[in-house]
Amino acid sequence: MSQEKQAKNKVYEAEVIDSSVVDEGNLRKVLIRAGRAIAQPALEAFEMVLDPATPPQARVSLLAALTYLIMPIDLVPDFIPIAGFSDDLVALTAVISLWSKNITPAIRNRAKQKLDNWLPL
């Protein structure tokens, strides 16, 4: 291989290595945002269960969705990256949308306060 071609390959290799370096601060922010996206509907469902104005039928279905979230065995096992929690998130958001008329601003505020305490931006 010619010296010129070797020099180009070394430059290319250096660029690939440099571009693959991940800034820990940015990675942390991305992971926190992802965690918040998953935790928010769970906390809203939990706050709805605790709210005395929530109808019993809503409480039962919300508790079922929250139980599905913490069950280790479900449709898509949680240990599978990304896909593992997607079915849990779908179940939660479906149940929350079913009972969305019962979500008050107070419930959303309590859930957001917990979320901010647990996963600050």
Per the CB < 8 A criterion, the answer to whether 42 and 114 are in contact is no
Rounded to whole angstroms, how far apart are CA atoms 115 and 108?
A: 10
Q: What tens digit of pLDDT does each residue of 36-85 get?
A: 988 999 999 999 999 999 999 999 999 999 998 888 777 777 677 777 77
Q: What tens digit of pLDDT does each residue of 108-117 get?
A: 999 999 999 9
| Whole-structure pTM value | 0.70
| pLDDT confidence of residue 86 | 81
The arithmetic mean of pLDDT across residues 25-45, rounded, is 87
Per the CB < 8 A criterion, the answer to whether 119 and 108 are in contact is no
What proportion of the chain, given as a percentage, has pLDDT over 70? 80
Residue 78 neighbours by CB distance under 10 Å: 16
| pLDDT confidence of residue 85 | 76
| pLDDT confidence of residue 17 | 45
| pLDDT confidence of residue 1 | 57
DSSP string over 20-68? H---HHHHHHHHHHHHHHHHHHHHHHHHHHH-TTS-HHHHHHHHHHHHH
